[in-house]
Amino acid sequence: MGSGDPRRNIPRTDTLLSLPAVNEARNRLSEHVIRHQLDAVLHSARRGDLAPEAIEAAFTEALRTRRPHSMTPVFNATGVVVHTNLGRAPLSAAAKAAVADAADYVDVELDLTSGTRSKRGVTTRRALLAACPAAEDALVVNNGAAALVLATTAFAAGREVIISRGEMIEIGAGFRLTDLIASTGAVLREVGTTNRTHLHDYADALGDRTGCILKVHPSNYRVEGFTAGVDVAQLAPLAAERGVPLIVDLGSGLLAPDSALPDEPDATTALSAGADLTTASGDKLLGGPQAGIMLGRKQIIEKLAKHPLARAVRVDKLTLAALEATVTAGQVPVVDALHADPAHLRERTERLAESVGGDVVEHDGRVGGGGAPGVPLQGWALRLPEAVASTLRLGTPAILPRVHDAACLIDLRCIPESADADVAAAVSRAVAAHR
C-alpha cells in the first residue's frame, strides 16, 4: 500500500468501536455481531469499494438497520387465513401481551401461595377445559404431529393402529401421517378402501394386537362421489365394547363448531360423540401459537402425561401463556378473518383503489393450513399489474399479494383495518415504481 493510497486513511478499529452509535447498538446487539458488521465495512473499504471518509457513516447505518433477528414482518394480502409460509396464524393482542409477560420470570411451575412447586401448565389446561367442557382433561405438547406421536406411542407401540385407507393422508412438504405413525413402532392396520370404509371393516380388524383405532380428518382434500365413511358416533360403541381407545385427529383445531365452517370437525362434537381422545394444532383455526392440543378422557390424558415421551414434546412457558390467552381473551385475528363481512371488505378495497388505482374484483379467500378445503370465503381484491407483486414483497412494509392470472391481487381480509393507511402508502410506492 503506497503512501498515496487512500486506504491508509482508514480509521482505527478501536476508534470506530468507540463511536456513540456503537454504544447505543450494544443495547440491541451482541459484541460479535457489532464486530461482524464492522469487519464487513472495513473489508469493503480495503477492497477500495468504500472511501475512508465514508466508513463511519456506513458502519453507523449498518448498525442502525441490523436487527437481532432476521424474520421480516409481512402483511398477508393473499386472502389465505392460515398461511403456513407466513407462520400460519397471527397471535391476538392478548396472546402477544402474554408472551411478553412470560418472557420474564413467571410462576410456570410455582404455587405463589405456598411457595412450593406446582404442576406445569395448570392454568392453560383449565382454560382449554372451560372452552371445551366435553373434555375431562387436557394436555399440551409442542405441535400437532407430536400429539399424534405421543398418542400412538403410548397406546400402540409394537401393536396395531387401525386406520381407514381413505384417511392415510400426506400434507405439505411430503409429510405423510402414516410414516409418522410407523416411526413410533406401531404397525398400521389398513381397513376399507380409498373411497369406502364401513363399520364392519373396523370390527373385522380388531384383535389382540390392536393398540387403538385412529380416525383422521382428511383436512387438505376431499373425496366425493361413490363414498362411505364411519363417523365417530358409529365407531365409539365398537371401540368401547372391545376396550380399545378411539383417537380422533382433528387437524385444524376447532374446539367447538363454527358456523362459517359447517363441515370442519371440532373437539366438542367428537368427544360428545364418544371419542376417547382428540388431537389438533393450536396454530391453525384456533389462532394460537404452535402447539399440539390433546383433549379427552381423564384416564387417557393421565397415561399420556406420564409417558416418558411427554417430556420430550413438552411446551415452554411462552407457548403456554400464548395458548391460554388465545382461549380466554376476546378477539383472535384468525376468527375475525374467517368471519369478515364481504360488504365491509369491499368498502376497504374500494378505498384502497381510490388511493392507488387498479380494479376492484371479486376474490374468494381460503381457510388455508389444511382446513376446510374447497370452502370459499366471499370477498374482494384490488387487481394490479403482476409486476407490482415483487416490489410489494421486497418493500417496507413487506406485503405478500396473490399472483393469479397474470395479475397482482391484494386481498385485505387478513390485514388489520388499522393498517390500511400503511398498506395504501406501500402499494402507492410500488405502483409508482412501475409507471
| Nearest Cα to Cα of residue 80 among 372, 407, 325 | 372
Average pLDDT of the segment spanning 215-241: 90
With helix as H, strand as E and coil as C, how does the chain read?
CCCCCHHHHCCCHHHHHCCHHHHHHCCCCCHHHHHHHHHHHHHHHHCCCCCHHHHHHHHHHHHHHCCCCCCCCEEEECCEEEEHHHCECCCCHHHHHHHHHHCCCCCCCEECCCCEECCCCHHHHHHHHHHCCCCCEEEEECCHHHHHHHHHHHHHCCCEEEEEHHHCCECHHHCEHHHHHHCCCCEEEEECCCCECCHHHHHHHCCCCEEEEEEECCCCCCCCCCCECCCHHHHHHHHHHHCCCEEEEEECCECCCCCCCCCCCEHHHHHHCCCCEEEEECCCCCCCCCCEEEEECHHHHHHHHHCHHHHHCECCHHHHHHHHHHHHCCCCHHHHHHCCCHHHHHHHHHHHHHHHCCEEEECCEEEECCECCCCCECCEEEEEECCHHHHHHCCCCEEEEEEECCEEEECCCCCCHHHHHHHHHHHHHHHHHCC
Express each pLDDT in 315-341 by its tens digit.
999 999 999 999 998 789 999 999 999
Residue 427: predicted pLDDT: 97
Express each pLDDT in 15-60 by its tens digit.
999 999 999 999 999 999 999 999 999 999 999 899 999 999 999 9
CB atoms within 10 A of CB 146: 23
Contact, 131 vs 124, CB < 8 A?
Answer: no
Least confident of 86-100, 229-243, 334-348, 360-374: 360-374
Query: pLDDT over 90 for what percent of the chain?
Result: 87
Residue 398: predicted pLDDT: 97
**CATH code for the structural domain at 74-83+335-433:** 3.90.1150.180
| Nearest Cα to Cα of residue 130 among 378, 327, 400 | 327
Give me 222's grid cell. Answer: 376431499
Query: At residue 232, does pLDDT exceed 80?
Result: yes
Residue 434: predicted pLDDT: 87
Give the whole-angstrom CA distance, residue 179 versus residue 111. Answer: 41
Q: Terminus-to-terminus CA distance in the chain, angstroms?
A: 47
Crossing angle (nearest 10°) for helices 420-433 and 342-356: 40
User: What is the layout of strands, in order, in the sheet containing 210-216?
Assistant: 137-141, 292-296, 277-281, 246-251, 210-216, 160-164, 187-191
Average pLDDT of the segment spanning 57-81: 94
**CATH code for the structural domain at 93-330:** 3.40.640.10
* CA atoms within 13 Å, Cβ hemisphere of 410: 35
Give the whole-angstrom CA distance, residue 356 versus residue 412. Answer: 14
Contact, 325 vs 282, CB < 8 A?
Answer: no
Residue 4: predicted pLDDT: 61
Give me 191's grid cell. Answer: 381397513
Residue 2: predicted pLDDT: 54
Q: What does the mean pLDDT of the chain come to?
A: 94
pLDDT band at 3 (very low <50, low <70, confident <90, very high): low
Q: What's phi and psi for 178, nearest 5 deg? A: -65, -40
Query: At residue 1, does pLDDT exceed 60?
Result: no
Express each pLDDT in 105-125 by its tens digit.
999 999 999 999 999 999 999
Average pLDDT of the segment spanning 259-283: 95
Q: How many residues does the chain have?
A: 435
Query: At residue 280, does pLDDT exceed 60?
Result: yes
Residue 154: predicted pLDDT: 97
Least confident of 146-155, 162-171, 183-192, 195-204: 162-171
Average pLDDT of the segment spanning 401-416: 97
Domain ranges, ordered by start, for the chain: 9-65, 74-83+335-433, 93-330
